Structure 1
């Protein structure tokens, strides 16, 4: 879903759904992030083992966007779908580390 300052792209593959987020993620992106992640969980086939949120292209993230990602995580967990974060760099990675969510990153 293109916007002036962020994009969300969902790419399903066997066993995994990847949701790539790019740009600046703040309160203006919150609802679309939440809707995209909840739809990915809802659309996940029983054989899809996990949902990966790719943060490689994210330049900025605030608490509202983190909250939307956490809602996706909780929905995936409730549905029995694995959830992982990937690709966060710099300050974006630091935000997740500081709030204690580093365990959600792929190793």
Structure 2
């Protein structure tokens, strides 16, 4: 896979009540340490407020970085912070939907039963 390319931009937000992390690039095993450190610092700066992780620029996310985001969610739940992972697209979004970090884009959690599928096809 070539060199890991990841960029993390911090933005404390205009009201000071939200800390934004804007992620760009590929996030795999090599970038999980950087993401962990930045997320920890974001929680420290948020002081009980909200942390928003903007995934709009993420091209790839590995399991190590998904784990970091899940640890962030757990920390938010334990400490009373708000926490959101937003703007994920494509396969990155599907991976985050599978973990519950992003809401599902559809309401169909399960395939229809065989009887329902046959009935729909015949009507």
Distance 1:40 1:75 in 2: 12
Change (3 A) 1:99 1:72: closer
Q: Please give the residue correspondences for 1:27-106 in structure 2 after superposition, counting only pairs within 5 Å.
A: 27-46=29-48, 48=49, 50-103=50-103
Shift of 1:81: 0.6
Structure 1 length-normalised TM:
0.84
The structure where strand makes up a greater share of residues is 1
Q: Is the 8 A contact 2:12 2:19 kept in 1?
A: yes
Structure 2 length-normalised TM:
0.74
Q: Please give the residue correspondences for 1:3-14 in structure 2 after superposition, counting only pairs within 5 Å.
A: 5-13=5-13, 14=15
Q: Is the 8 A contact 1:76 1:83 kept in 2?
A: yes
**Structure 1: which 4+ aligned runs deviate by more than 4 Å?**
none
SS of corresponding position for 2:91? helix
Structure 2 match to 1:17? 19
Shift of 1:90: 0.6
- Rg larger in 1 or in 2? 2
Shift of 1:82: 0.6
Count of residue pairs the alignment pairs up? 100
Distance 1:41 1:87 in 2: 20
